[in-house]
Structure 1
Amino acid sequence: MSNITKEKIVESVPQNGFFGHPKGLFTLFFTEFWERFSYYGMRAILVFFMYYEVTKGGLGFPEELALAIMSIYGSLVYMSGIIGGWLADRIFGTSKAVFYGGVLIMLGHIVLAIPGNATLFFVSMILIVLGTGLLKPNVSSMVGDIYSEQDNRRDSGFSIFYMGINLGGFLSPLVVGTVGMNNFHLGFSLAAIGMFIGLVVYVITRKKNLGLAGTVVVNPLSKEEKKKVFTIIGAGIVVIGILVAISIPLGILTFDTFIKLVGVLGILIPTLYFVFMYRSPKTTAVERSRIIAYIPLFIASIMFWAIQEQGSTILANYADKRTQLEFAGLHISPAWFQSLNPLFIITLAPLFAWMWVKLGNRQPSIPQKFSLGLLFAGLSFLIILLPAYFGGADSLVNPLWLVLSYFVVVIGELCLSPVGLSATTKLAPAAFSAQTMSLWFLSNAAAQAINAQIVKFYTPETEMMYFGVIGGAALVLSLLLFILSPKIQGYMKGVK
């Protein structure tokens, strides 16, 4: 491991220059802004691209299959973060991981922009999944690197960073969504351009603004370990390739079996990762206690994202099929609803950042903030079942119901997501810093893997039960987490 300490890394970063925060936050803010512009722009039109008829420029997939693939794709995007975190921790550091990831994402969007068939579509998905796995957890981990552990600006900095994510997420459905709903491939081209701009910003400013942040390989492989690991990886790729080549023609590997497999992996991988980190000799006794405290937060995060991520699947379909799109003399594109979540975050994030700083030591504990996040997530689903209760499943719904649902879940997101990012950097064992950030994103992967199994139960006829059961489960878990908050806080060993 390098002899460069955390203190030296922080000292190498100019500490004032971006809204009173380290200059490095500027680089990471705009890199992530353009990456999210690219990702959310593509995602705003992706589900429609899959299930729209070929004559309308789509792939013509069955609607239920398109919704499941969308969830599986989202799950794999976050699941691949484990690979990205491991590569950063063991081989080339977080700074290079961010750059390599951005290149792969850009290539994935370029492939999507080429008119073709389902084969090209799945090639693009693989590139974007691998690229996001490299970039997403590591750019967030670098935000933690530019602050000392005692810096009171840390939570506020993550909130500002989170606002950058959502600024990109707000603009892209309006730009890419508007263009893409008329020409899907032209929309995907705009997503590729967005990622290219993000790479340019990162390369030009990282040396001056980030100093040593992201350059240290915290747990490097020895030469013997590298040889062994690369041999195993190479053999694994060959074996997987052979199995796929055999199982697809035989009808063993189908969309349905793959969706089930990802569902199992979504739960199994984080479980094994918790066990591995807890039992590692590189994890201290204090760090083991913090891992125990992290487990209920992780479970709460899964429940939250299981609701929030349906904004791009079930609620996107709801916007397309169940919502009045002619409103106040304006034709509303169903892709525009994807801008609501980031719009509300942009509006409310500064308020939350100010509120946590203002409250100081009087603010709710981390577990209590998570319980609030679950509370509002559950309420957002209970809100969206009301139109069917009042008007029935056959009538088109006033778009303001969707607006209200997105608004309420955003309040929960600001209680949970930026706080979760910050808590992860605090609770992570030193030898697994980037990998623990990857583990945080695995809660989203697990949520979407679960969603892929349950979206088939949604129809206009069952929507009241669908939203009611999931929303009610979130409220129950919220209450349980609030009750257990003091106990969980005790296991955090001084982390607040």
Structure 2
Amino acid sequence: MEHPKGFYMLSSATMLESFSYFVFAVILVLYMTDVLHFTDSFSTYFFGIAYGMTYLFQIVGGYLSDRYLGNRKVVLIGIILIAIAQLIFTYDASPYHISANMANHSTFLYTNQEILFLIAVIVMSIGVSFFTVSITSFISLFYKEDSKLVDSAFSIFYLFRNIGGFLAPVVVSSVVGIHDPKLYQYGFLYGFIAIIACLILFLAFKNKTFVSVDGKPLGVTPSFKLQKENKQKSSAKLSRSEISNLKAIAIILMAVIVFLMFSQQIFTTIILFAKQHVNNILPIINSQISPSLYVSINPLFIIILTPIYLKLFHKLSEKNMAVNTYTKIGIGLLLTGIAFLVLFIATHDLNANTKINMV
């Protein structure tokens, strides 16, 4: 069975939003160290807070969506907030002649440019949170009557998301170049253009394609109101199966938290390490690349391997050899651990003046 047109519209919108967010994520640490002159440790610490806020505010966005506003409005609010943040970043990056020191930051004494930067980060985190939490729950609305398509739908959805994640570092690297403070504003500008394109796409197609099979609009009415209209009552006491499901979710959440702690270092520790200790010269063509380009490797492999994984898992299911979610997560954690072991071996006894091969 084919997926509805509205699903592809949402996936295209999230691809553009992903491009805009990855521009922000790829540039952020380098912008803080190259332009704002924050220390490496402060920059990575600050990125961790900014990234954590994108998950914290999802609680707020999810509550507003389910209780009061509905998916459409919260997605729209998220897009608008991201656009505002990217515009502030673009303006903030234009007067690049700043000189700052760590003492100012540790005592919370910031310049006007730095204050504007902090505001933009908060607005971006809220915007990304609102968009992400609402867009993912929006997708499930298309498949209430055909739950078999949900798994493949989310795989395709994240494929679109990673296309945006792959393109962003490539574009940023070509636009910003190798740590030129004067060019960071253009990187943020590309992020602004992408999210405006996302806004136009969403507004143009939301009434035409975001509808159910019987033509009813999706994502307009909050789910809480729908439950009241359908007279759905939730029991005050959890059943055994519900308790079992909550335990499973808790285990998965712990695994995901561990995975994110390490995988998201690609935006911080690994970029800074590549900047200082990796010989970023492409062989044969003898051309230097920006450390931010390494971020594109992860989404590239997701784009390449997702169709293969989908076919493989489908074949295994047909042979009654289905791979459960726990096994998939376990394999992901194992491979992440191996990756960091390889990095540990490569960087063992590394001194300040040594540069390792990019391989």
TM-score range, shorter chain: 0.7 to 0.9
User: Do the aligned residues in 2 keep the contact of 1:98 with 1:134 (CA within 8 Å)?
Assistant: yes
Q: 1:395 to 1:210 in 2, by over 3 A?
A: same
1:33 aligned to 2:15? Answer: yes
1:43 aligned to 2:25? Answer: yes
User: Do the aligned residues in 1 keep the contact of 2:173 with 2:289 (CA within 8 Å)?
Assistant: no
1:139 to 118, 132, 135: 135
2:44 to 40, 44, 67: 67
1:92 aligned to 2:56? Answer: no
Three-state SS of the structure 2 residue aligned to 1:215 is coil
- Residue of structure 1 in register with 2:221 after alignment: 216
User: What TM-score, normalized by structure 1, do the two folds share?
Assistant: 0.62
2:306 to 349, 352, 356: 349
How far the C-alpha of 1:393 sits from its partner, in A, is 6.5
1:313 aligned to 2:290? Answer: no
User: Do the aligned residues in 2 keep the contact of 1:176 with 1:187 (CA within 8 Å)?
Assistant: yes
Q: 1:42 to 1:282 in 2, by over 3 A?
A: farther
Question: Which amino acid in 1 is paired with 2:262?
Answer: I
- After TM superposition, the structure 1 = structure 2 runs for residues 207-246 of structure 1, keeping only pairs within 5 Å, are 207-211=207-211, 212-220=217-225
User: Do the aligned residues in 2 keep the contact of 1:36 with 1:168 (CA within 8 Å)?
Assistant: yes
Three-state SS of the structure 2 residue aligned to 1:35 is helix
- Residue of structure 2 in register with 1:78 after alignment: 55
Give the whole-Å Cα distance in 2 for the aligned partners of 1:21 and 1:358: 21
Q: 1:283 to 1:81 in 2, by over 3 A?
A: farther
How far the C-alpha of 1:319 sits from its partner, in A, is 1.1
Give the whole-Å Cα distance in 1 for the aligned partners of 2:292 and 2:339: 19
Give the whole-Å Cα distance in 2 for the aligned partners of 1:38 and 1:285: 43
2:123 to 113, 116, 127: 127
Percent identity at matched positions?
29
- Residue of structure 2 in register with 1:194 after alignment: 194
Q: 1:363 to 1:150 in 2, by over 3 A?
A: farther
Residue by residue over 1:441-462, the C-alpha shift from the partner in whole angstroms, topping out at 9 and shown as x without a partner, is: xxxxxxxxxxxxxxxxxxxxxx
Give the whole-Å Cα distance in 2 for the aligned partners of 1:209 and 1:307: 38
User: Do the aligned residues in 2 keep the contact of 1:50 with 1:60 (CA within 8 Å)?
Assistant: yes
Give the whole-Å Cα distance in 2 for the aligned partners of 1:201 and 1:192: 14
Give the whole-Å Cα distance in 2 for the aligned partners of 1:330 and 1:282: 64
Could you tell me which runs of 5 or more consecutive residues in structure 1 were left unpaired when the two chains were aligned: 1-15, 53-57, 222-278, 401-496
- After TM superposition, the structure 1 = structure 2 runs for residues 375-394 of structure 1, keeping only pairs within 5 Å, are 375-389=334-348, 394=353
1:374 aligned to 2:333? Answer: yes
Residue by residue over 1:6-28, the C-alpha shift from the partner in whole angstroms, topping out at 9 and shown as x without a partner, is: xxxxxxxxxx6xxx322222111
How far the C-alpha of 1:370 sits from its partner, in A, is 1.5
Deviates most, 304-313 or 21-30: 21-30
How far the C-alpha of 1:132 sits from its partner, in A, is 1.0
Alignment length (residue pairs): 320
User: Do the aligned residues in 2 keep the contact of 1:155 with 1:353 (CA within 8 Å)?
Assistant: no
User: Do the aligned residues in 2 keep the contact of 1:44 with 1:177 (CA within 8 Å)?
Assistant: no
- Residue of structure 1 in register with 2:253 after alignment: 298
1:174 to 170, 173, 190: 170
Q: 1:124 to 1:365 in 2, by over 3 A?
A: same
Residue by residue over 1:474-496, the C-alpha shift from the partner in whole angstroms, topping out at 9 and shown as x without a partner, is: xxxxxxxxxxxxxxxxxxxxxxx
How far the C-alpha of 1:205 sits from its partner, in A, is 1.5
Three-state SS of the structure 2 residue aligned to 1:153 is helix
2:156 to 160, 163, 175: 160
How far the C-alpha of 1:283 sits from its partner, in A, is 5.6
How far the C-alpha of 1:216 sits from its partner, in A, is 2.8
Three-state SS of the structure 2 residue aligned to 1:60 is coil
User: What TM-score, normalized by structure 2, do the two folds share?
Assistant: 0.84
1:106 aligned to 2:83? Answer: yes
Q: 1:370 to 1:201 in 2, by over 3 A?
A: same
Give the whole-Å Cα distance in 1 for the aligned partners of 2:54 and 2:350: 37
How far the C-alpha of 1:377 sits from its partner, in A, is 1.2
Give the whole-Å Cα distance in 2 for the aligned partners of 1:397 and 1:280: 59
Q: Which runs of 4+ in 1 moved over 4 A?
A: 282-285, 390-394
Residue by residue over 1:63-98, the C-alpha shift from the partner in whole angstroms, topping out at 9 and shown as x without a partner, is: 110111011111111211111111101111112111
Question: Aligned Cα RMSD in Å?
Answer: 2.1
User: Do the aligned residues in 2 keep the contact of 1:38 with 1:192 (CA within 8 Å)?
Assistant: yes
User: Do the aligned residues in 2 keep the contact of 1:45 with 1:177 (CA within 8 Å)?
Assistant: no
How far the C-alpha of 1:149 sits from its partner, in A, is 6.7
User: Do the aligned residues in 2 keep the contact of 1:176 with 1:191 (CA within 8 Å)?
Assistant: no
Three-state SS of the structure 1 residue aligned to 2:279 is coil
Give the whole-Å Cα distance in 2 for the aligned partners of 1:69 and 1:168: 24
Give the whole-Å Cα distance in 2 for the aligned partners of 1:35 and 1:285: 39
